[in-house]
Amino acid sequence: MIYRQFTQNMILLTKKNHWCNGAIQFARMLNPDIEVHSGTADTPFPLEPGRKTKVLISFLSPWIIPKHILDNVQDAQGTAINFHPAPPEYPGSGCYNFALYHGVTEYGATCHHMEAIPDTGKIIDTIRFPIYNCDTVFSLQHRTLDHMLILFYRIFPIITKNICLSETLEGSKSSETSETWARKPYLKKELDKLCRITPEMSKEEIERRIRATQYPGRNDPCLVFQEREYILKEPDK
């Protein structure tokens, strides 16, 4: 069923990749009038300060949504939600990295209401899957984004239907969950610290850090020795 004749303005903020393209295609199938903005961290934030909308969705958005934009959504009695590529145990930056470092056996993705501080709003829904001993940051990221897209497929029709009925997601059963964020969001500086390896660390600790931080093209661990840093690269195969 297409809800076009009932929908009020909806905005989807994404970056440009395979998973975001899937979310965009699905959103446009249910709501051909949805406004989509895709960009990178270097792209200026696309919404003007006074812009109001009924529904604002962030799916891997490269932008931190300004508080005044979230306030505008609230003033319009609307809904602002985000899809986070981690379960509630891992808010913030470096979520894949810390999960692998901690050796957890389960991971997932989270849909939640947006607040001014990222990854702190009320949780709407989660999806979970196992982590394997052979997982790397790269493999975990790709499987997470596959599941997060499935979560988007599950949540977006509910959002669209509620807006058609002039309801907000805040007041619907779809916003009810017993899950809460397990801690404060991880910060970029904590991930940078995880990437640092020093000679006094045990072999086990070094191996955990390498597994948790090595990623093709970025986040390579570094050995800190006599105040100098040595980047640890995976050998070419």
**According to the model, what pLDDT value does residue 7 have?**
42
The strand pair at 106-113 and 79-84 is best described as antiparallel
Alpha-carbon span 104 to 112, nearest angstrom? 22
**According to the model, what pLDDT value does residue 14 have?**
97
Q: Contact 47/3 with Cβ under 8 angstroms?
A: no
The per-residue pLDDT string of the chain (237 residues; one tens digit each, 9 = 90 and over) reads 344 433 458 999 999 899 999 999 999 999 999 999 999 989 999 999 888 888 999 999 999 999 999 998 988 788 899 999 999 999 999 999 999 999 999 999 999 999 999 999 999 999 999 999 999 999 999 999 999 999 999 999 998 876 655 455 554 444 557 899 999 999 999 999 998 888 889 989 999 999 999 888 776 777 776 667 767 766 555
According to CATH, the topology of domain 10-175 is Rossmann fold (3.40.50)
* Beta pairing partners, 204: none
Residues of the chain with CATH 3.40.50.170: 10-175
Could you tell me the CA-to-CA distances from 232 to 53, 133, 138, 208, 225 in Å, in that order?
A: 46, 21, 16, 14, 13
Q: Contact 92/69 with Cβ under 8 angstroms?
A: no
Residue 3 DSSP label: -
Handedness of CA 203, 205, 206, 208 (dihedral sign): positive
Q: Contact 174/124 with Cβ under 8 angstroms?
A: yes
Helix runs in 18-136, H state only: 18-30, 67-75, 95-102
- Predicted model pTM: 0.87
